[in-house]
């Protein structure tokens, strides 16, 4: 596991993150005061545009995941709404800075920051809610990889069994042990994220 992982931050969200930590999209929607039914509905729909919530927090769009593209690559009986709900329940971290910078360019002209995070310290506190993925789960364009719930491999399962969990649960070929994780996720929130941040740099 790489010593550092990274999180791309909307600069407009920095003060909120310093105060409350990193929250999943679902948690951010809940704290706007929307009723539970409205939150669930919003979390199951593609965000076609960058969205400013009533408290000023920004949610990025999900343009790279149109429902039509997801329908072609989802397995495990999932519908596009299930995939949006799954992703909206997690906080995401990257390992590859090149991919991170590509994402930052894709969301221009909005100002972005990069959190450099101590991976081991983050996992020591939140490993029980952590997962790794073999590819960028937020993109379903250009021959997208087949995916389902087991695309998110529990971190401690991955450390002992590699990608067998994904293969067994989704009926996919077993990935090589040398196949590096593309993402690290933590379910729900990381309220103490600033404890693990080593640096904050403009993207």
Cβ neighbours of residue 106 closer than 8 Å, sequence gap 6 or more: none
Triad 199, 187, 71: Cα angle to 5°: 110
Using an 8 Å Cβ cutoff, are 131 and 152 in contact? yes
* pLDDT tens string 113-124: 999 999 999 999
Would you say the pTM of this structure is higher than 0.85?
yes
Using an 8 Å Cβ cutoff, are 80 and 169 in contact? no
Token look-up 């991955």 returns 158
3-state secondary structure of 91: strand
* pLDDT tens string 20-30: 999 999 999 99
pLDDT number for residue 36 = 65
Q: What gap in Å lies between CA 55 and CA 30, rounded to an integer?
A: 11
Both tokens of residue 16? 């909120």
CA distances, 127 to each of 124, 182, 202 (Å): 6, 17, 28
Alpha helical stretches, state H, 36-195: 36-43, 67-73, 80-87, 97-106, 119-126, 155-161, 164-170
Q: What gap in Å lies between CA 17 and CA 122, rounded to an integer?
A: 16
The answer, yes or no, to whether residue 37 has pLDDT greater than 80, is no
Which of 48-85 are b and which e, b meaning 16 or more Cβ less than 10 Å from the residue's Cβ? eeebebeeebbbbebbbbeeebbeeebeeebebbbbbb
Using an 8 Å Cβ cutoff, are 81 and 169 in contact? no
3-state secondary structure of 174: coil
Q: What gap in Å lies between CA 121 and CA 146, rounded to an integer?
A: 31
Q: Tell me the mean pLDDT in the region 178-191.
A: 98
Greater confidence, 38 or 196? Answer: 196
Judged by phi (left if over 0) then psi (alpha if -120 to 50, else beta), residue 192 lies in alpha
Q: What's the pLDDT band for 194 if we cut at 50, 70, 90?
A: very high
């Amino acid at each position: 596991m790489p010593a550092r992982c990274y999180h791309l931050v909307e600069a407009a969200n920095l003060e909120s993150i310093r105060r409350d930590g990193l929250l999943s999209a679902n948690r951010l929607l809940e704290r706007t005061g929307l009723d539970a039914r409205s939150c669930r509905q919003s979390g199951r729909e593609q965000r076609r545009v960058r969205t400013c919530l009533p408290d000023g927090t920004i949610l990025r769009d999900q343009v790279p995941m149109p429902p039509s593209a997801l329908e072609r690559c989802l397995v495990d009986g999932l519908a596009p709404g299930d995939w949006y709900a799954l992703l909206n329940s997690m906080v995401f971290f990257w390992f590859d800075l090149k991919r991170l910078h590509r994402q930052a360019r894709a969301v221009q002209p909005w100002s972005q920051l990069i959190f450099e995070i101590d991976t081991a310290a983050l996992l020591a506190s939140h490993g029980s809610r952590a997962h790794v993925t073999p590819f960028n789960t937020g993109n379903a364009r250009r021959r997208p990889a087949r995916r389902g719930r087991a695309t998110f491999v529990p971190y401690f399962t991955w450390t002992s069994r590699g990608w067998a969990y994904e293969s067994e649960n989704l009926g996919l070929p077993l990935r090589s042990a040398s196949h590096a994780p593309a993402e690290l996720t933590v379910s729900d929130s990381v309220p103490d994220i600033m404890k693990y941040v080593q640096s904050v740099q403009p993207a």
